[in-house]
C-alpha cells in the first residue's frame, strides 16, 4: 500500500446522481492505480437536507458498481468514524482553535438582523471585511458585551475571518492555477448555531485527519476551495492536491445534466432504482434498466477522461492501468445515452453465454419463463448481439420460450404460396422426427428437402421464420429450430399454416 489516500465524500441529501458515480469511479481508479486507499466518507452535517435512505443508497450503488471502499462506514478503517454526524465534537474543537488563533470569530446576528443587513447592503451584500465591523460579532462588540452573548448561547455561529487583501492560490491538477482575492470572499460560517460544522470546516478537518492526499471532486466545489485553502493555511496544515472534474452535460450539450433530464429524455440518471422515499418522485436506475456494471464504468470513465488514443473498450483493470489526472478534460462532457447502450452491448457480446445465463435465471423466474441454465445460455448465444440489455434476451427473444403471439401476418400473406402447403407439412413432419438435433442437422434437413423437390429457399425460409418467431427479425433460423426442438418447431409450423 502506498500513502496515497483519496475519498469519495457524498452528502446523503438524495439518491446519488450518475455524476457522483463518476466521481467515485475516478477516485477509485486513482487509488487503485497508485496502490492507495479509497475511502468513503458520508458528509451528513446538513440536518435539514438529510434524506433517510440516501446513505444506504450510496453504499448499495457503490457495491453494485464494484467500487467498494477500503475504508468507510461499515467497511472498517483506522480513521473513523466516517460519518460526519458522529464527529461533531472534533469540528467544534477546531473551530474554537481558529478563534483562538484570531482567524475566526463569534457572530450573533439573528436571521432578522441578517435580512435587514442584506436589504440595506443591496444585491452584493456579503458578510466580510467591509461589513463585519457594523454587524454583531466578537470583532465589532466590546468584549464584555459579546462574552455575555456567548454565555447566553443564542444564535451563536463561528465565522471565518477572511483577510481583505489576501491573495489565495489554488493549484488544480486539471485547471491549473486559479487565484482568488480575499476581498471577493465572504466570512463563511464554519460552525452553526446547532453546534454542527458547515461543509467547509468538516471537509477540511476530515481531509486532514484522514490523511487525504488527493481531493477529486465535482467542479461545483471549486469556488469553496478558496476558503478551504485559507483554512489549511490558518491551521498550518498541508493542503491535499485538488482536481475538479468537468460537468456532465445534457445530451443536447446545453447545461448540466439534471435528475429531471432522465424523464425528459427517457433514460436513467441514477445508478440503481430510487424508491422516492425523499418525497421526490421515484427514479429508474441503470441496474434495473439492464446495464452491466462494468459497461457502465467504462462508459462513465470516458465522460471527461480518455486514454489519449482511440481505444474505447477498456475493462476495469485496463482503466486502472491507464488512468491519470492529467488526461481529465476541462470542458463539460456530453451525456450520450446511445453510447452507454453501445457499451452495454459490447460487454454483453463479450460475456460468456454461461455467465449471461446465470444473470438471466432470476429474471426468467420473475417473468415466469420456464427454462434451465443450458437453454438460457443457448438463448444468450443467439440473442446477445441483437439486444442492448440483458433482459431483452428474454423480452425480445420471448418466442424462444413461449408461443409467438405477435405474428407478422402481413408478410405472411405476401410470402405464403398456398400450392406449397403440403411441402411445408412434410418438412414439419421431418422436423418433428429430428427431435433434439443440433442446428446443422436442421439446416441439412430443410435444405436437402428443398433441393430434392426443386423448391426455392426464398419461398420457404420466411414462412418458417414467421411460424417459429412471428417476426422476420429473429436470430439464426436453424438455431431457432434447435433451441425449440423438433416437436415444438413442427407444431408452430402447422399452427401457422392452419
**Which of the residues are catalytic?**
259
Contact, 23 vs 252, CB < 8 A?
no
Of 7-15, 289-297, 301-309, 346-354, the window that binds ligand GLU (rule: CB under 6 A) is 7-15
CB atoms within 10 A of CB 176: 9
Nearest distance in Å: CB 215, ligand GLU: 6
Nearest distance in Å: CB 221, ligand GLU: 5
Secondary element (H or E) of residue 5: strand 5-8
Output the CA–CA distances (angstroms, integers) from residue 232 to 88, 98, 238, 481, in the order listed.
Answer: 19, 11, 6, 71
Instruction: Tell which positions 267-306 bind ligand GLU, by CB under 6 A.
Output: none
| Among the listed residues 221, 235, 265, 337, the single contact to ligand GLU using CB under 6 A | 221
Nearest distance in Å: CB 281, ligand GLU: 21
- 161 is an interface residue for ligand GLU by CB under 6 A: no
Output the CA–CA distances (angstroms, integers) from residue 162 to 186, 226, 230, 293, in the order listed.
Answer: 7, 10, 8, 45
> Distance (Å, rounded) from C-alpha 497 to C-alpha 307?
57
> Distance (Å, rounded) from C-alpha 119 to C-alpha 131?
13
**By rule CB under 6 A, what count of residues binds ligand GLU?**
8
Q: Which residue, 248 or 431, has its beta carbon nearer to ligand GLU?
A: 248
Of 213-221, 377-385, 405-413, 429-437, the window that binds ligand GLU (rule: CB under 6 A) is 213-221
Secondary element (H or E) of residue 263: helix 260-265
Q: Which residue, 156 or 215, has its beta carbon nearer to ligand GLU?
A: 215
Output the CA–CA distances (angstroms, integers) from residue 362 to 350, 368, 405, in the order listed.
Answer: 21, 10, 23
Contacts of residue 92, Cβ cutoff 8 Å, sequence gap at least 6: 191, 195, 197
- 43 is an interface residue for ligand GLU by CB under 6 A: yes
Q: Which residue, 6 or 156, has its beta carbon nearer to ligand GLU?
A: 6
Of 215-223, 246-254, 277-285, 415-423, the window that binds ligand GLU (rule: CB under 6 A) is 215-223
- 10 is an interface residue for ligand GLU by CB under 6 A: yes
Nearest distance in Å: CB 43, ligand GLU: 4
Q: Which residue, 221 or 449, has its beta carbon nearer to ligand GLU?
A: 221
> Distance (Å, rounded) from C-alpha 192 to C-alpha 6?
27
Q: Which residue, 9 or 348, has its beta carbon nearer to ligand GLU?
A: 9
| Among the listed residues 6, 9, 21, 356, the single contact to ligand GLU using CB under 6 A | 9
Q: Which residue, 14 or 462, has its beta carbon nearer to ligand GLU?
A: 14
Of 6-14, 62-70, 146-154, 390-398, the window that binds ligand GLU (rule: CB under 6 A) is 6-14
Of 8-16, 153-161, 169-177, 332-340, the window that binds ligand GLU (rule: CB under 6 A) is 8-16
Contact, 485 vs 400, CB < 8 A?
no
Nearest distance in Å: CB 245, ligand GLU: 10
Query: Angle 59-62-67 (CA atoms, 0-180°, nearest 5)?
Result: 135
53: left (phi over 0), alpha (psi -120 to 50) or beta: left
Contact, 197 vs 190, CB < 8 A?
yes
| Among the listed residues 6, 11, 107, 128, the single contact to ligand GLU using CB under 6 A | 11
Phi (first) and psi of residue 195, to 5 degrees? 80, 0
| Tally of residues, the chain | 498
Closest CA to 8 of 101, 70, 93, 85: 70
Burial 352-381 (b: 16+ CB within 10 A, else e): ebeebbebbeebbeeeebebeeebbbbbbb
Q: Which residue, 243 or 273, has its beta carbon nearer to ligand GLU?
A: 243
Q: What is the dihedral of CA 244, 250, 252, 254, to 10 degrees?
A: -60
- 203 is an interface residue for ligand GLU by CB under 6 A: yes
Nearest distance in Å: CB 28, ligand GLU: 14
Q: Which residue, 206 or 294, has its beta carbon nearer to ligand GLU?
A: 206
* Residue 304 DSSP label: S
β-strands 214-218, 157-160: how paired? unpaired
Nearest distance in Å: CB 284, ligand GLU: 22
Nearest distance in Å: CB 27, ligand GLU: 9
Nearest distance in Å: CB 228, ligand GLU: 8
- 61 is an interface residue for ligand GLU by CB under 6 A: no
Of 169-177, 214-222, 331-339, 489-497, the window that binds ligand GLU (rule: CB under 6 A) is 214-222
Q: Which residue, 227 or 287, has its beta carbon nearer to ligand GLU?
A: 227
Contact footprint for ligand GLU (CB under 6 A): 9-11, 43, 203, 215, 217, 221
Amino acid at each position: 500500500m502506498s500513502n496515497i489516500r483519496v475519498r469519495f465524500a457524498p452528502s446523503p441529501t438524495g439518491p446519488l446522481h450518475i455524476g457522483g458515480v463518476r466521481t467515485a469511479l475516478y477516485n477509485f481508479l486513482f487509488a487503485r492505480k497508485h496502490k492507495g486507499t479509497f475511502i468513503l466518507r458520508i458528509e451528513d452535517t446538513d440536518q435539514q437536507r438529510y434524506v433517510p435512505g440516501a446513505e444506504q443508497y450510496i453504499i448499495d450503488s457503490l457495491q453494485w458498481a464494484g467500487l467498494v471502499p477500503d475504508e468507510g462506514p461499515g467497511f472498517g478503517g483506522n480513521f473513523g468514524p466516517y460519518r460526519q454526524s458522529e464527529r461533531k465534537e472534533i469540528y467544534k474543537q477546531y473551530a474554537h482553535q481558529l478563534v483562538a488563533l484570531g482567524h475566526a470569530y463569534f457572530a450573533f446576528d439573528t436571521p432578522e438582523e441578517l435580512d435587514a443587513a442584506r436589504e440595506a447592503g443591496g444585491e452584493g451584500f456579503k458578510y466580510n471585511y467591509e461589513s463585519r465591523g457594523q454587524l454583531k460579532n466578537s470583532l465589532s462588540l466590546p468584549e464584555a458585551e459579546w462574552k455575555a452573548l456567548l454565555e447566553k448561547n443564542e444564535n451563536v455561529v463561528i465565522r471565518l475571518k477572511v483577510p481583505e487583501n489576501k491573495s489565495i492560490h489554488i493549484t488544480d491538477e486539471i485547471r491549473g492555477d486559479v487565484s482568488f482575492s480575499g476581498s471577493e470572499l465572504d466570512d463563511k460560517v464554519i460552525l452553526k448555531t446547532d453546534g454542527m460544522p458547515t461543509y467547509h470546516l468538516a471537509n477540511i478537518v476530515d481531509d486532514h485527519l484522514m490523511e487525504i492526499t488527493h481531493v477529486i471532486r465535482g467542479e461545483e466545489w471549486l469556488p469553496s476551495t478558496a476558503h478551504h485553502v485559507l483554512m489549511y493555511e490558518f491551521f498550518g496544515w498541508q493542503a491535499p492536491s485538488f482536481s475538479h472534474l468537468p460537468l456532465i452535460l445534457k445530451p443536447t450539450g446545453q447545461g448540466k445534466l439534471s435528475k429531471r433530464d432522465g424523464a425528459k429524455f427517457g433514460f436513467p440518471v441514477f445508478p440503481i432504482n430510487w424508491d422516492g422515499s425523499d418525497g421526490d418522485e421515484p427514479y429508474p436506475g441503470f441496474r434495473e434498466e439492464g446495464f452491466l456494471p462494468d459497461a457502465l464504468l467504462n462508459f462513465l470513465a470516458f465522460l471527461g477522461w480518455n486514454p489519449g488514443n482511440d481505444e474505447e473498450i477498456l475493462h476495469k483493470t485496463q482503466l486502472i492501468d491507464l488512468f491519470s489526472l492529467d488526461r481529465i478534460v476541462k470542458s463539460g462532457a456530453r451525456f450520450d445515452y446511445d453510447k452507454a447502450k453501445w457499451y452495454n452491448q459490447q460487454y454483453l457480446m463479450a460475456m460468456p453465454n454461461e455467465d449471461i445465463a446465470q444473470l438471466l435465471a432470476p429474471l426468467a423466474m420473475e417473468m415466469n419463463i420456464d427454462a434451465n441454465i443450458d437453454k438460457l445460455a443457448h438463448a444468450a448465444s443467439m440473442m446477445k448481439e441483437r439486444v442492448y440489455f440483458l433482459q431483452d434476451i428474454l423480452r425480445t427473444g420471448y418466442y424462444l420460450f413461449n408461443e409467438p403471439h405477435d405474428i407478422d401476418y402481413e408478410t405472411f400473406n405476401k410470402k405464403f404460396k398456398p400450392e406449397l402447403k403440403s411441402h411445408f407439412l412434410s418438412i414439419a413432419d421431418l422436423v418433428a422426427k429430428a427431435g433434439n438435433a443440433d442446428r446443422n442437422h436442421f439446416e441439412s434437413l430443410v435444405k436437402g428437402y428443398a433441393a430434392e423437390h426443386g423448391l426455392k429457399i426464398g419461398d420457404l425460409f420466411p414462412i418458417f421464420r414467421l411460424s417459429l418467431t412471428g417476426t422476420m427479425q429473429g436470430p439464426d433460423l436453424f438455431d431457432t429450430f434447435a433451441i425449440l426442438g423438433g416437436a415444438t418447431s413442427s407444431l408452430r409450423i402447422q399452427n401457422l399454416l392452419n
